[in-house]
Amino acid sequence: MPELRKDPVTERWVIIATDRARRPTDFTRQTVTLKGGFCPFCPGNEAKTPPEILAYRNGNGGERDKPGWTVRVVPNKYPALGIEGGLDRRADGMFDKMNGIGAHEVIIESPEHAQTLASMPEKRIEDVLWAFRDRIVDLKRDRRFKYILIFKNHGEAAGATLEHSHCQLIALPIVPSRVAEELQGARRYYELKERCIFCDIIHQESGDESRVVAENAGFLTVSPYAPRFPFETCILPKKHESAFENANSGDFADLAKMIKLVIGKMDAVLERPAYNMVLHTEPMSGPDSADYFHWHVELMPKLTKVAGFEWGTGFYINPTSPEEAARYLREAVVEAPELAVR
C-alpha cells in the first residue's frame, strides 16, 4: 500500500510509492565524469573570470587574480541579476514588477580541477564554508537584498555548465518561495508549540533512528520524513540557530566533515550522481525568525529523469521510502581518496 506523507514544515503531501520500491540500482544513473578541456576556474586562467571579490591564499601571500589561492570568489560572468541600480518597485497594470537587482557570484572551491566535496580534504571544505560566511556578512550590509541563496549544481544533469567544482551565490531583493514556505510553516508551528519545528524533528529523528544517515558532534543528517525525491537528505545543526553566518569555527569543522561524509556516501551508493545542494538560512530582514527558523543544508541527487508534471502540480511521487534510502546511505562505507593538503 503506498503512503501519503506530509512534510511537517511546508505541509506538502507526497506519495511514497513503496509498492514499486526502487533501490539504488533501479535508477538510470549518470555518473558524473570529467571531460576536461579549457577551464576558466583553473589557476593561471584568472583573467578569464571577472576580477575576484574574495580569495583565500596560503600565508596571505600572492597577488590578486593570480594563482596561489585555495578558494576564490568571482562575479558570475553571465549574471541573472544586475548589481547596479535601485529596485524601482512599480505596478504594470494589475501586475507587480521591479528591476532585476541582485548579486550573482561563483565560489570556486579548489584550485584543483578534479576535486569534489567528496574528495577534498575537510580543511579545504571548511574554507569554502568560511567563504560562504564572509560573502553573506558582506552582502548583508546592502539593504536592497532580502535573501542570500547559496547552492551547488554538480554534474551536467543537475545544471552545472562548468565541471570544476563550484557553488553559486545569488543575493535577492525577495525571499524565494520555497524558503518563504519553510519560514511560514516554522512560524505557524512556533506560534502553536513555542518550539522550533526543526529542533523537534532532530529530537524525534535521533530517537527513532530509521531515517538517520549520519551524526557527528554538531550535525545530524536525515532522510526527511516526506521527501520529494529519492535519496534526498537534509543536514541539520543540532544546536538551534537561524542564521548560517552565526556558526562558529567548531560548527564549520563539523559541517565540513559531515558534507564530505554524506556526499561520499551518496557517491558510493548512487555511483557519483549529479546532485544539487542548497543552503537554507534565514532572510536578512523581515520578521524576526531567530526563534523559529533553523538553518540547514539540503542535498538532492538527480536520479529521476523528469519533473514537468511536478512543476505543474507541486505533487511528488517518490519511489524510494526515506527509511530505505537512509538505510542504504547509513550502511555505505566511504573510501574516498583524500588528496593531501597542499
Catalytic residues, which ones?
Answer: 166
Establish if 309 lies at the interface with a copy of itself (CB under 8 A). yes
Binding mask 220-259 for a copy of itself (x = CB under 8 A): -----xx-xx------------------------------
In angstroms, rounded to a whole number, what is the distance separating the alpha carbons of residues 300 and 154?
10
Q: Is 108 helix (H, G, I), strand (E, B) or coil?
A: strand
Q: Which part of the chain contacts a copy of itself (CB under 8 A), choosing from 17-25, 56-64, 68-76, 325-333?
A: 17-25
Distance in Å, CB of 56 to a copy of itself, minimum: 26
Q: Are strands 316-318 and 54-57 parallel, antiparallel or unpaired?
A: unpaired
Binding to a copy of itself, residues 145-184 (CB under 8 A): 149, 151, 153, 157-159, 170, 172-174, 176-181
Establish if 199 lies at the interface with a copy of itself (CB under 8 A). no
Q: Do 229 and 12 meet the contact criterion of CB atoms below 8 Å apart?
A: no
Distance in Å, CB of 126 to a copy of itself, minimum: 23
Q: Which is nearer to a copy of itself, 69 or 229 (CB)?
A: 229
Count of other CB atoms within 10 angstroms of residue 92: 7
Distance in Å, CB of 254 to a copy of itself, minimum: 22
Burial group, residue 171, by CB count within 10 angstroms (0-12, 13-18, 19+): buried
In angstroms, rounded to a whole number, what is the distance separating the alpha carbons of residues 140 and 136?
6
Distance in Å, CB of 337 to a copy of itself, minimum: 26
- Please select the residue that binds a copy of itself; options are 26, 63, 208, 288, rule is CB under 8 A: 208
Buried b (16+ CB within 10 A) or exposed e, 178-209: ebebbbebbbebbeeeeebbbeebbeebeeee
- Please select the residue that binds a copy of itself; options are 302, 326, 328, 329, rule is CB under 8 A: 302
Distance in Å, CB of 147 to a copy of itself, minimum: 9
Cell of residue 5, nine digits:
506523507
Q: Which is nearer to a copy of itself, 197 or 329 (CB)?
A: 197
Residue 172 CA to chain centroid, in angstroms?
A: 16
Q: Do 136 and 165 meet the contact criterion of CB atoms below 8 Å apart?
A: no
Binding mask 47-86 for a copy of itself (x = CB under 8 A): -------------------------------x-xxx--x-
Cell of residue 178, nine digits:
520555497
Binding to a copy of itself, residues 90-109 (CB under 8 A): 92-101
